[in-house]
Amino acid sequence: MGGEPTHLFQQAREYILQRQNPAVTESMDPSHSPKLAEVDSLTIHTIVNDEIDQISPSPHPGVKHAQSFMGAPLTSLPGGTQRGGSSKEMRMDTICCGAHGLSLLITATKDGKSHSLLFDTGPEEAVWERNVTRLGLDAGVIERIVLSHWHRDHSGGMLSAVRMIEAAKKSSLGEHADSNKVVVDLHPDRPNFRGILAHEPISLEADPTFAEVEEAGAVVFKSDEAHTMLEDTFLVSGSIPRHTAYETGIRGGIRFTSDEQWVQDELIMEERLVMCNLKGKGLVVFTGCSHAGIVNVSRHAVELGAGVPLYSLVGGYHLADGSAEKLEQSMRDLKTLAPKVLMPGHCTGWRFKVRLEMEMPGCMAPLFGGTKYELISDDSL
Ligand SMILES: [Zn+2]
Ligand SMILES: [Zn+2]
C-alpha cells in the first residue's frame, strides 16, 4: 500500500505537466486520429551512426548529400594569417565520430514551416554532445524527442540531448523557454535493465528513467499507441505486429524485472517506428533497430499509411548477425514491398548492404554519421 499514493501523485503531476505544454495536448486529444499530413521536404542530420563516410558521393538521385569532405564545417583562420590565400581550414576535430547507436535529427517542412524531431539519442552523452557541436547544429530547434525502444545504444545520449536543447532554448527564448520545453515521447514499458543471456546474464546499463528525463528539463509523454505530432507532420507507431516467421527478435534477449529476476525478452515489443509522408513520393519510415524485423516494420508502416506507398526505409535493419536464411527471406519480402530508397545504417551489417546493392541496384543510399541528407520531392526523380 505504501507505494500507491506516491504512484498516483506522480501520475497526477505528469498529467498536469503534460496539459501545461501545448506541444503535448495535440497528441492527447482522443479525437485526433493519427493521419499524416504531406510534407514538402525532409532533411535528416545523422548525429550518431556506427559508420561515417565523408567521401562517397550520393548513389541515389532522390537523396542529396555532400561528398569529398565538402560537408565538414570549415574553421576561419586567424586574421592576418598568410597561407597562400586560404582564409579557412578543414580541421579533423570538426568531423563527427562513429559510435554504436543511432540518433537522427529529422526536419519536415510544409508550406514553409519546419518542425524538428530527434529520433533516438545514440549510446553516450559525450558522443551526442560532441557530434552536435561538431555539426554546428542548433539543438534549440528540436521540439520532440522520440525513443524507438529501450536499449542504451538509442537512449544513452538522452539526458545530454535534453540539457543541450533546453540550454539553447533558454538562450534564445529567455523566460518563454519554460512553456516550450522539449517533449520526450517514450513507451511506458521501460525495463529496469535489459541484457543478453550468455554464460551468465549480461546486463546493459539502465536506460534513463522518466524522472531523470524530467529532471534534465523535458516534459515526458508516454504512449503505447499510434499518434501524430507537430501538426501531423510525424507519426509514431504503437507496438509493431509480428507476422513473419523468421523475424524473431534478439536471441538470448532478457529483461530484469521489478522482482529482481531476469526473464526472457527477445521480441522487444515496445519498439516503435516514426514516419513522414513526403509529397509526391510516399512514406519515409524511420526505424531504430528493427528488432521487430525490417519486413514487419515496413508492413506496419504501410498499414498505418492508409494507402500512401512506401518510399524509404531509414535506420537500423538489424541484420548484422542474421543467418544467411534470414537475410535471404528479408531480401525476398523487401523486394515485394518495393521501397524506392533504402537508407540502411546502424545495426544493418555490411553483408545485407552488399546484398542490397547487388539485388536492388540503384535503391540504396547508406546512412553515415555526420552527414546531412535531403530527400528530394521533385517528381522527375
Ligand atoms: Zn536495440
Ligand atoms: Zn540499436
* Mean pLDDT of all residues in 323-335: 98
Say whether 67 sits in a helix, a strand or coil. Answer: coil
Q: Is the pLDDT of residue 378 over 80?
A: no
Q: Is the pLDDT of residue 344 over 80?
A: yes
* Among the bound ligands, the one closest to the CA of 153: 2
Higher pLDDT, 32 or 85: 85
Distance from the CA of 348 to the center of ligand 2, in angstroms? Answer: 9
Question: Per DSSP, what are the bridge partners of residue 342?
Answer: 313, 364
- pLDDT at position 380 is 57
Give the pTM: 0.92
Distance from the CA of 174 to the center of ligand 1, in angstroms? Answer: 37
The alpha helices in the chain, defined as continuous H runs, are 4-20, 22-28, 125-135, 152-155, 158-173, 210-215, 294-304, 324-337, 350-359
- pLDDT at position 24 is 58
* Among the bound ligands, the one closest to the CA of 149: 1
CATH superfamily of 38-70+92-375: Ribonuclease Z/Hydroxyacylglutathione hydrolase-like (3.60.15.10)
- pLDDT at position 20 is 53
Residue appearing with cell numbers 504512484:
7
53-103 pLDDT per residue, tens: 999 999 999 999 999 999 888 999 998 888 999 999 999 999 999 999 999
DSSP of 247-287: ----TTEEEE-TTS-EEE--S-TT--EEEEEETTTEEEEEE
Determine phi and psi for 274, rounding to 5 degrees.
-120, 145
Question: Per DSSP, what are the bridge partners of residue 89?
Answer: 75
| Residues flanking ion ligand 1, Cβ below 5 Å | 151, 289
Residue appearing with cell numbers 528513467:
209
Percentage, residues of the chain above pLDDT 90: 84
228-253 pLDDT per residue, tens: 999 999 999 999 999 999 999 999 99
Percentage, residues of the chain above pLDDT 70: 91
* Mean pLDDT of all residues in 103-116: 98
Distance from the CA of 192 to the center of ligand 1, in angstroms? Answer: 15
